[in-house]
Structure 1
């Protein structure tokens, strides 16, 4: 039976996380974690849920962009979409007028992610599987058919991607069984937001350590002397044997980044995340080269606009850790392309998460990466923050610092209607 999309609704939902400085960093000092929340209605009553993440102001602009894309979905059948998912992805990203306000970047791409996340959620629900399992069970050629290879064939061809997926079929069931039993390794960012006091920093790190966490990330970049003191507190709390990462959230120029991070090298960070502009590929390459002798890698990607930029980051050896994001790129379709490129270039994928729903979403993608693409956990982990999960119908499950694979059908995007209504932002006027 054909299932047709009959309506697209989108709402602006905001949470006041800035009140207690949750999510604060050197560039985003007062974030209010928010989403543009999309619901797809169908003629059979089934629904698909999707979202894209923001920090408060501006969510209303993403809502307008979703509403601009909505006519491209209305009256489309799910079978028509997933039967030519590459074509549908290109339809959304290449509309001859809408693409001018991208293309494939910025607000319009965030809206694309929200819409496509809802489509993937609907598809997984109809199949009765969590999204990761839907992906894992696909034949390699079906995965390939979901990816738009335009602009990246100089780095990864369809034939190369297919070869990667076919090779990973070996022992795939063993890795799936392993994930169901052990889960995917996570690291903790909740302990060390920039706005937290030294006392809270120490307390949260100690509590997390006692709860089984061994990998921690902290925010840096506002003041060097403060960073030295705070890094010292965290390193002392977690001990020399555990893993520390630092994140500047795009704070520095290139030379400043090299100097600043060199001053923090004594605390043995595994990586510096987003040291400079997220668009500066050659700047990241220069930082990577300068910090390599110190044993510090560069991680970036949460604000990397699209697969083309990831391609160039990889080609330029400008990052040592790929940080995909479920809502910055064009949903699962584009993330699949980045996973495959990262594997070809032998760069580990360590996703960005946190926010509202990002943990819920990205766990599906990283499980697929391990089971069906990379077949490796070397230097791999997925970010986790302990915020706002209670607003979802299928919240993440963390056990012994590991993401346990979701079991409910869908992409874990559905929010509690009571939460949506309580936190829906009321804006005067409309999009026009």
Structure 2
């Protein structure tokens, strides 16, 4: 491994005006401008690391400030120092005696932590000449365990149990890796049915997706019940009775309202209702899960679940039937490893949240690792895909036959095109100078 010493952590506010065409619109986020706090780590060699955390416009500047605050804990360290005690480095970032107060391990500071750590993982994979998923797959189980902070979760998963899961999954690992390289990982699309899209747009996009081989579709709901019934009926008619449908309320409802609303939509046979209520309401999700079980509709959540402790409680309370990890909401790969292992122990399938800017590029590495080295199962498992903004990355996501194909370039697929970054910097970039503020 290169003895590269980190000399600078830079961060830029990069935003895309997606709200102008209603891309990404849902019941709670009606006008998102897909954005990132984009981090570049420079070393005293030619080795660099690229990371990001996703936002939806306003507030990205706050994440940028948090990254700048964390950078003092990173500059001066070598890559070898970090990865030889990755658990310690993770705890250093999340447990600074003063900055911890504005978390801890949640909110803006956790988004910033994810951006920095995503860049570190990208740099490590580049140093090894591997894509991140392959770096993880080739790693010794004990080394994987050493990257995880088990503090606060040992009542649900001990280090010994986590190691046993990884060791058990060694059997058949090579065949599963070959399968992924050959077939890819199953995906579903959210791109057809954003809440702000017209019926005509929805129909056209569904037709295109069906022609491309998509069989799993998600539709945004939650703003108006009668409109939801009409749109769900329309999309069910478009995709037919045998293709899969999911619905997503993006935290719009109270608990009782969620049960009542989803019951009205049950005729369209959704596999799950996603984020039916506050992302912090674990017992509320448990009540919704129990109420919807007779309808065979599961509850999915996690894209705004803030840390491994909350995921632990969701699993302990049987409050979700689908775990939705996010590559930027929690503390990067380190924390997602813990969540993947807990989900495996509790036998709950992982179906990651993706889309936005760079989320598909990032999370594809985690699902490949999960299947090859942890869960060894594709039952009820799929990863979200949104077809926006991939053209701004040097190693964009590759979809074939509605499957994520394993990335081949070294790193975490997070490096953006310099021209894209320059044009979309907020507020001084060329794109934003043309838009009235």
Equivalent position of 2:92 in the other structure: 91
Equivalent position of 2:293 in the other structure: 292
Deviations 1:282-322 (A, max 9, x none): 00000000000001000000000000000000000000000
Q: CA deviation at 1:276?
A: 0.1
Equivalent position of 1:25 in the other structure: 26
Q: Give the match's secondary structure for 1:72.
A: coil
Deviations 1:336-359 (A, max 9, x none): 000000000000000000000000
Q: Give the match's secondary structure for 2:54.
A: strand
Q: Give the match's secondary structure for 1:264.
A: helix
Q: CA deviation at 1:426?
A: 2.6
Superposed counterparts of 1:16-415, under 5 Å: 16-415=17-416
Deviations 1:245-287 (A, max 9, x none): 0000000000000000000000000000000000000000000
**Is 1:2 the equivalent of 2:9?**
no
Unaligned stretches of 5+ residues in structure 1: 428-432
In 2: Cα distance, 1:270 partner to 1:374 partner = 20
In 2: Cα distance, 1:135 partner to 1:80 partner = 18
In 2: Cα distance, 1:302 partner to 1:354 partner = 11
Equivalent position of 1:430 in the other structure: none
In 2: Cα distance, 1:370 partner to 1:213 partner = 21
In 2: Cα distance, 1:326 partner to 1:21 partner = 23
In 2: Cα distance, 1:218 partner to 1:9 partner = 37
Q: Give the match's secondary structure for 2:72.
A: helix
Q: CA deviation at 1:205?
A: 0.8
Q: Give the match's secondary structure for 2:245.
A: strand
Deviations 1:129-172 (A, max 9, x none): 00000000001000000000000000000000000000000010
Q: Give the match's secondary structure for 2:242.
A: coil
In 1: Cα distance, 2:230 partner to 2:208 partner = 20
Q: CA deviation at 1:46?
A: 1.2
RMSD of equivalent CA atoms? 0.8
In 1: Cα distance, 2:171 partner to 2:131 partner = 22
Q: Give the match's secondary structure for 1:161.
A: helix
TM-score by length of 1: 0.99
TM-score by length of 2: 0.97
| Structure 1 segments (4+ residues) deviating >3 Å | none
In 2: Cα distance, 1:197 partner to 1:126 partner = 47
Q: CA deviation at 1:366?
A: 0.4
